[in-house]
Structure 1
Amino acid sequence: MYFQEIGPILSSVDEPMALCTVVATKGSTPRKAGARMIVTQSGTVYGTVGGGHFEQKVVVQALEVIQSGTPGMFRHELLQQHDMCCGGTMEVFIERMERKKKLYIFGAGHTGQALSRFAVEAGFDVWLVDDREAYLSRCSDPRIHCVLQNFEDALRSLKFDADAFVVVMTYRHDIDRQILALCIRQPHAYLGMIGSRRKILVTKKRFRDAGIATVHELDAVDMPTGLAIGADGPAEIAVSILAKLIAVKNNVNP
């Protein structure tokens, strides 16, 4: 497997995976140092480090690394351990590969624009969604996915999973509530909505009264989104939101 092949696999596979790299060999071996193989959590294999019983064992070790998250160096004596007649020794380094966390920002206003810029620098895979072309056209960073669509249609096309981060901050309260109602029972790592205390109280009451969400589901939504650091203005508010996203990503309680 060539290095250039790794990126497309990482961007297209929606499950945890491990990269297995042959780092040293001695004697006769089926592959030399530099050979790479990717193993996904479901057991799909891309590339090869040599085949046979040896490779089967590497796959097992890769699955263990995916589960534990701890990288490791594994030494294989091909003749003694795997009954392979080539008889050499191979050392394989296995590491879990982390995909960028998707961040869906609904609303490309001043704060949404600032958050998208800061978040992409922090390593998030940023999707900025709005139905106003004039606002999205201000986004010039090619790393940011700009989605010009009706919000409801965009929600149908975006992929939600347990690693998805969602921030709702459109230009109208009713649209914010519509998006929140559609997202609240989707899988996600984080769901937050911008708003004043009154907006949040009204939203919670309407959702409870209409049976849209339970008290527990509403309490799990970060409203108002971000850390309470006295932020003022789009840039500071965006920083407070990004700080909260990073804390959730890193499993830290700020």
Structure 2
Amino acid sequence: MPVVLVTVARTWGSSPRPPGSLMAINGRGETVGSVSGGCIEDDLIHRIREGGVQAACASSTPVVLRYGISADEAHRFGLPCGGTVELVLEPVAPHSRLDELLQACLQRRSTERVLDLATGHVELRPGQRDGVPHVDDHQLVTYLGPQARLIVIGAGDLSRYLCEMALSVGFEVIVCDPREEQRASWSMPGVAVSHEMPDDLVQRLRPDARTAVVALTHDPKLDDLALIDALQSDAFYVGAIGSRRNSQHRRERLRTHFDIPEADLQRLHGPAGLYIGSKTPAEIALSILAEIVAVKNGVGIEAPVPVELGKSQLGTPSSAAEASCGLP
């Protein structure tokens, strides 16, 4: 069945989706992905249905479309004031090299994809996952890479909520717990479950710059060695839950007994998560994932609310704060 690949090439002003966003449309008008809030997708589907996907793919030549040139058009397509979106519609063909691109992503390799706008010819090169897409009169250059990955150490209620949320925002998720009694009743569609020792798993997977590692067991025998390996990897986020007091003890333990450099310890998020007054496992999972996503997206996290102030505002005694095994 013929398929058209639509890429956001560039934007002006405000735009619902950034450059590099993708959507595919097949001959039945079925879509995967998005390039706007919905109105542009509807118009694209209508255009392609009217002209026929087969006809659109016949020439194998990409087409450039621009939405939001006038204020009336921007309003019609639900674009923010002053927003303009330029799209490249690319008929999918063998020379699109999508199979090679998919294999590179599955092997966790980042790729620069160069599309010749005159011929539809594609060139693939090693590239940066977070490279900035750009387009000119001759070619469209995009950057694609491996799915963000989350390694969760410990199978339990908290990890169940965290994994469910992480899947919903597009992470590949792996749960590791060598304790059979914890692992036996733990399963979730779409989540790989490992019985390895956590440090063995971290060493085997060699976390890259698209990987986050978070320890949830409260057990130094399981957490510490895995955290050490993760801190010495390219993982963009390394965290562990626990009270403020236990988190400080963990840092001292890693510093004193394992000679972990201060620069590595500065990368350790502990207690993991943003302070939002979390009490339940679901709320703690939400705070952890929010911090992971913020770090992944390069969003600066402002200084957190002081723990004692936050606890007093919630009416929680300081003794209860120290007893907490989740977030402070």
Q: Which runs of 5+ in 1 are unaligned?
A: 26-31, 42-62, 76-91
Distance change (3 Å), C-alpha of 1:129 and 1:171: same
What residue number does 1:81 align with?
none
Aligned length, in residue pairs: 205
What residue number does 2:126 align with?
40
Identity %: 25
Contact 1:166–1:192 under 8 Å retained in 2: yes
The answer as to 2:273 corresponding to 1:226 is: yes
Give 2:135's match in structure 1, choosing from 58, 72, 76: 72
Residue deviations 1:220-241 (CA, integer Å, cap 9, x gap): 2110001000111111111101
Q: Which runs of 5+ in 2 are unaligned?
A: 1-94, 302-328
Distance change (3 Å), C-alpha of 1:235 and 1:210: same
Contact 2:156–2:186 under 8 Å retained in 1: no
Alignment root-mean-square deviation, CA: 2.4
What residue number does 1:60 align with?
none
Residue deviations 1:43-89 (CA, integer Å, cap 9, x gap): xxxxxxxxxxxxxxxxxxxx9xx7852321342xxxxxxxxxxxxxx
Give 1:165's match in structure 2, choosing from 212, 215, 219: 212
For residues 158 and 234 of structure 2, what CA distance do their matches in structure 1 show? 25
Q: Which moved more, 1:104-113 or 1:238-247?
A: 104-113
What residue number does 1:54 align with?
none
What residue number does 2:157 align with?
110
Give 2:189's match in structure 1, choosing from 129, 133, 141: 141
SS in structure 2 at match of 1:38: strand
Q: Which runs of 4+ in 1 moved over 4 A?
A: none
For residues 98 and 263 of structure 2, what CA distance do their matches in structure 1 show? 46
Residue deviations 1:123-171 (CA, integer Å, cap 9, x gap): 22222111134536532312x2222212232233112223321111125
Contact 1:136–1:148 under 8 Å retained in 2: no
For residues 251 and 108 of structure 2, what CA distance do their matches in structure 1 show? 36
Contact 1:184–1:213 under 8 Å retained in 2: no
Give 2:242's match in structure 1, choosing from 183, 195, 202: 195
Contact 2:239–2:271 under 8 Å retained in 1: yes
Distance change (3 Å), C-alpha of 1:208 and 1:6: closer
The aligned amino acid for 1:72 is V
